[in-house]
Amino acid sequence: MRLSFSWLSDYLKDSETIEEKSYKLNETLTEVDGIEEVKPSFEGVYIGKILKLEKHPNAERLRIAMVDIKTKKLKIVCGASNIYEGMKVPVAIEGTALYDEAGDRFLITKTKIRGEESEGMLCSPRELGISKDHSGILDLSFDGTVSIGDLLDPIFTDKVLKIENKAITHRPDCFSHEGVARELAAISGNMVKPLSFETDNSKFTKTSAIDKDISIFTNEVFNSENEIKLKIDGYTRRYSTITIKGIKIKPSPAFIQARLIALGHHPINNVVDLTNYVMYAIGQPLHAFDADKTGYNFHIRTAKNGEKLKVLDSNTYELTTDDITISDGPTPLDIGGIIGGYESGINNDTQNVVLVADNFDPSMLRRTSWRTGIRTDAVTIYEKDIDPNLTINGLVAFVNLYNELYPEDEIAVSTILDYYPITFPEWKEVVISHELINKSIGEDIKLDKIEKILSVLGILIIKSEEGILTLNIPSRRTDLNTKEDVVEEILRLYGYSNLPVRQYFYKLQEVKAYKGREEEIKALNFMANTGYVQIETYLFADLGLEEKLSLSTSPVKIKNPINIESNILKSSTIPDLAKIASRNLKLADSGKFFSFTRIFTLNAGKSQEEKVLSNVYFDKKASNSTLYYSMQKDLVDALIAIGVNENDIKFTTKETFKEKAVALSELESAAIFIKGKYAGYIGLSSSLLEKTFDMDKSAVVSMLKFENIVEASKKDYTLQPYSKFPSISFDISMFVNNDTFTEDIIEAIKSRNVKDLVGIKSVDTFQKDNRAVTIRLTFNNLNKTLERTEVESSVEGIQSFLKDQFKDLKVR
Amino acid sequence: MDPIYAQYISDISSLDELASKISSDIKESVKKEENIQSIYLSRKGLITGLFSILNEIENKTGSSKREIGQVLNTLKKEAENQSNIPGADKPKNRKELFDPTFFQIGQEGRLHVLTREKILTEELFMRMGFSIIDDNFVDSDFNVFESLNVPANHPARDLWDTFWTESGEVVRTQTTAFQNHLLVEAKENDSFPIRAIQPGLCSRNEATDARHEHTFYQVDGLYVSKNSEKRVSVVDLISTLRTFFSQYLQKEMNIRIQPAYFPFVEPGFEFAISCIFCKGEGCNVCSRSGWLEIGGCGMTHPNVFKKAGLDPDEYSGFAFGYGLERMAQLKLNINDVRLFRENDIRFLNNS
């Protein structure tokens, strides 16, 4: 939002600079984005009056004007057709500088045009940089606020305060100069000066009620007949409307044009400019229809699907039943609260106007604005949910301002037709105690200080007894409804920097951490200490890529992804790991990385997330089996460090998982089971994965489902009974067929349930033509020393059992 | 008399001669890394043995027993010095040839800087009595918006550009999403006060540049007390932030608050800490203000209590939130937020 400082100053009693005001706004309301100097695109343009017009002797289209600029009279040759004797015009004289649209400066000099001397130039709005209008000279005849001989420069010189809209969405009253001025005044302990056109507007008499929702109000200005017939289907909080007859379209006064330009607008004509001016002054959007085009029957309804309307920005929009429209008969006239229709707009021939100040359901306007992409200042204000009590002020401000500027027009203003089904009270009552205020703030603020703060904010103190304050809050403060809101207001104006710092005492209480945090930190530290570097990854992933690698079974899709590569939440960490391997294979010979992140699946229409620990290891100099066994050892060590029992860990090729076969090499990967439950995998990259990520060497990757690990880790450390007698270990070394895996041999031995056999561990394996496996068997008894002979016979039994089970097994 | 000692002194004619012979033998033994203790000093050692044949030495050299004793004692000291640690054995020979001074560093692993800062943040808040929460990244509209006083179609939703899943769930835009369930749980278990933080990943649909990331860690905190036990004040909020940031940055920190709008707090503030680079005098990092803007905070909004079924007149609390990346950037002088997730080994190993 842009705020003109000269405009704000109209309301203020003190004379602080814009920098001082900006600092104070920063401290108490919101951050000021910046201060911008607004300068005219001319230097030294005077206001003059055309005394006499003569034909140019040598050119048909040129005329010679005698112009009075008070200090002297000038002879100026001019080609514009709209000039007339008695017209007030902007005059550039010898030495005046003008800037063109590219910012290039050129000086006006005395010159001869077609043989006639010209001592200056009369300027069009475009030549002054006011608007794009170049159809004629800017007509200032109707501007009673400027006099012959005045410089135009100071009117177009201003400073603008820029405020981020987002920061004050809760303060619809601050989307206006009056609102921000009220804040500025309150910060300095003052109230604002009321402006002439906004004052004395409330003395209306209710003459009649059309029905329970529509009333008619009149006073000495608003007194001609109101011919409007309203039919309203709903969605409308308030619709206040008048007719004005005898309006004359002309340029608005220079100061209004200048202020609109400073806010970033192009002036159009007096009626359109005044509706905008009133909106920026008091924060109530207004809309003017050409009554001769619309007629007087207004129907406020939702649009029909497919109904089309060309609006003021010259675009045509297709409407839906979610949009509010005002229509006269079947044709829509505008999109309610958003933008006016093109056909019903004000033009140079308009004489009679229907002026509307309304208030709609903000969420409906917001949806329409989002769908159509139309962002007018009116929507920006409406969607903040403004006070419905403002509509009458809007109409009155327009009429007062028009009469003040153009008394000669003698316009006829009708009574106010006011649809207002549910009245919002003009004052809201809040009762609050002095004690609560101070306890909430944590500081002892005196009652008279509090009362002073409240009164400059325009809050009435109805009663103040024994520290209990009964307050009346004006309805424009839609943000102040509760005691807490009032506390904030007081604190805000008391000054945050005036608060002390104090230590306070906590109640003694258990401090908890989320489930698994302890194991998580153990795992992270273990991996870091074992030589793995942690990476940080995004949770978004590319569905196409995941599908290519068969990783997505039930992805969680993002409805509004930031780009196509981030259109789901990832269901596997393989792409993250492959990406980092690929990147670092180009930089280094070897690398070990891990990530602790989350993976997602859609389950019964809901996103389900799991924490996973993922590792990747590559080494250009190492064989694939070395890579595999090295990481496998790290994983097992980590699991044990976290608290998983080594006997509960199993690597198996018998189970499938989605990463197997496509992303990982099928015969070189294994599922990890902990306590009989799937808990992750380890495996070598597949050639497809390597091709996809441009990896010139295989890498081993792994994933552990963290919740399963937390579940399986030891929670208590009770001492288990152990034998005082020595145990006996035997190693069985054997060759097996390549289809037989260590897990098969261990499972087979386990299935024998051999007496006193307490440990079955794989201790070595290597690959020649066949696979060599060494298994260590440990025997122990709680109550006695085992005889070597009985153990030996058990081992022999196991060996012959294994030979039976596995065809090609040879004991070494 | 032990014949070995007799032989040792057989060609000796003066005490000086004997002394220099023993002395040079010790030196020779040291050179050969022999066991000085056992050869010279033990019960059967040379010097001990010579003490037992003082008469013979007296006869051989003509020096008095007293003089001989003094010389032998000096030599004993010399031998003891050579054997260093009294009683220690020196290996006669190396078992294996190696360089005990050589050392190497194993492959370097490392926690990511954000993990380190997250763990530190959690530990410090736990010391201050705050529990640590870790909820889901994908959450419900109710938790992320509705329960936090951001109804549907409210303009405050513009504050966050939200990612939605096709199934209609919300990618949390702020870890503040934990407030409602904390309040409901505390109500059910009557376990007030609530003191908790949630440092977790959030995402907002914003273009990424050197200062903005669509994915980031937010640390969100909540403290709620029953008014009958303690009414929570703005001063409590500031004091908590001040205590935390002073510990976190190992410096005495001041906190500045300024008004700001967040729907779930009333009043709402932005908070800044004293600039850690210039001690408040103004520098480039803090734009000459002396303050570093860190995050938002405020007093729990009555509607947040109401949505959890609590009477806003009976409870009060404060909340705060800030970005972990920004803190890490300030602490470690990292000028581009994108570096955190590029996973370049040069960054990972040096941050």
For residue A325, what are the contacts with CB-CB under 8 A and spacing of at least 6?
Answer: A300, A301, A302, A303, A307, A309, A319, A332, A333, A334, A335, A336
Dihedral of alpha carbons B120, B123, B129, B132, sign = positive
On chain B, the residues whose CB falls within 8 A of the CB of A487 are 267, 299
Contacts of A504 in chain B (CB under 8 A): 230, 235-236, 239
Please give the pLDDT value at position A321: 86
Checking if the pLDDT of B122 tops 70, the result is yes
Name the closest residue on chain B to residue A596, using Cα atoms: B115
Per-residue pLDDT at B39 exceeds 80: yes
**SS3 state at A574:** helix
Chain A and chain B share a number of CB contacts under 8 A equal to 229
Helix (H, G, I), strand (E, B) or coil at A47: strand
Q: Which residue has the tokens 């090295």?
A: A630
The per-residue pLDDT for A201 is 54
Query: What gap in Å lies between CA A251 and CA A246, rounded to an integer?
Result: 16
Does B158 sit within 8 Å of A528, measured CB to CB? no
Measured in whole angstroms, the distance separating CA A726 from the mean position of its chain's CA atoms is 71
- Contact between residue A117 and residue A228 where contact means Cβ atoms under 8 Å apart: no
Closest Cβ opposite residue A558 in set B165, B235, B312: B165
B204 at interface of A, judged by CB pairs closer than 8 A? no
Q: Which pTM was predicted?
A: 0.67
From chain A, the residues in CB contact with B343 under 8 A are 535-537, 580, 583, 593
Cα–Cα nearest to A649, from A631, A671, A666, A665:
A671
Q: In the predicted model, is pLDDT for residue B59 greater than 60?
A: yes
For CA atoms A534, A540, A542, A543, give the dihedral sign: positive
pLDDT in tens, B259-309: 888 999 988 999 999 888 887 677 877 877 788 899 999 999 999 999 999
Q: Which residues pair with B196 in a beta bridge?
A: B131, B222
The partner residue sitting opposite A29, judged by closest CB among B243, B257, B259, is B259
- Predicted confidence band at B137 (pLDDT cuts at 50, 70, 90)? very high
The pLDDT of residue A202? 60
Instruction: For residues A131 and A151, give the distance between their C-alpha atoms in angstroms, rounded to a whole number.
Output: 19
What pLDDT, on the 0 to 100 scale, is given for residue A597?
Answer: 97
At CA A154, angle to CA A253 and CA A37, rounded to 5? 110
Segments in chain A below pLDDT 70 = 198-202, 502-508, 716-717
pLDDT at B13: 85
Contacts of A488 in chain B (CB under 8 A): 266-268, 299
B106, two tokens: 């194993």
Q: Tell if the CB–CB gap between B263 and A170 is shorter than 8 Å.
A: yes
Q: Which of A246, A251, A331, A247 is nearest to A295 (CA)?
A: A331
Structural Rg of chain B based on CA atoms: 39
Return the pLDDT at B4: 77
Asked whether A786 and A746 are in contact (CB, 8 A), the reply is no
Q: How far is A94 from chain B (nearest CA, A)?
A: 45
Cβ distance A531 to B345 less than 8 Å, yes or no, reads no
Question: Based on the number of CB atoms within 10 Å of its own CB, is B187 exposed (0-12), middle (13-18) or buried (19 or more)?
Answer: middle
pLDDT for position B94: 56
| Contact call for B215 and A539, based on CB within 8 A | yes
Angle between helices A788-805 and A742-751 (to 10 degrees): 120
Distance CA B317, CA B301 (A): 9
Identify the residue with better confidence: A148 or B159.
Answer: A148
A187 vs B contacts (CB less than 8 Å): none
Closest residue by Cα to residue A476 from A265, A39, A174: A174
Yes or no, beta carbons of B234 and A562 under 8 Å apart:
no
Which residues from chain B sit within 8 angstroms of residue A593, using beta carbons? 343
Q: Is B189 on the interface with A (CB under 8 A)?
A: no
Q: pLDDT tens for residues B318-336? A: 999 999 999 999 888 888 8
Buried b / exposed e along A447-475 (16+ C-beta atoms within 10 A): eeebeebbebbbbeeeebeeeebebbbbb
* pLDDT at B11 (0 to 100): 83
Torsion of CA A470, A474, A480, A485, to 10 degrees: -40
Q: Any CB–CB contact under 8 A between B302 and chain A?
A: yes
- Predicted confidence at residue A351, as pLDDT, reads 92
User: Residues 218-257, chain B: which have Cβ within 8 Å of A?
Assistant: 229-231, 233-236, 238-239, 242-243, 254-257
Query: Which of B164, B234, B300 to mutate to probe the A interface, most A CBs <10 Å?
Result: B234
pLDDT exceeding 70 applies to what percent of chain B? 94
Strand partners, A414: A224
What pLDDT is attached to residue A460?
92
Who has greater pLDDT, A161 or B3? Answer: A161
Which pair of structure tokens corresponds to residue B351? 């941050």
As a whole number of angstroms, the longest Cα–Cα distance in chain A is 139
Please check the confidence at residue B84 and state whether its pLDDT lies above 70.
Answer: no
Q: What is the pLDDT of residue B85?
A: 52
Test A496 with B257 for CB contact under 8 angstroms. yes
Strand residues in A57-204 grouped as ranges (E): 63-68, 73-78, 88-99, 105-107, 111-113, 116-118, 120-122, 158-163
Q: Who contacts B90 (Cβ-Cβ below 8 Å, separation ≥6)? A: B33, B34, B35, B36, B83, B84
Lookup: tokens for B39: 């050869």
Rounded Cα distance between A379 and A376, Å, is 5
d(CA A183, CA A199): 19
Q: What are the start-end ranges of the E strands in B227-274?
A: 255-259, 265-274
Residue B75 has pLDDT above 80, yes or no: yes
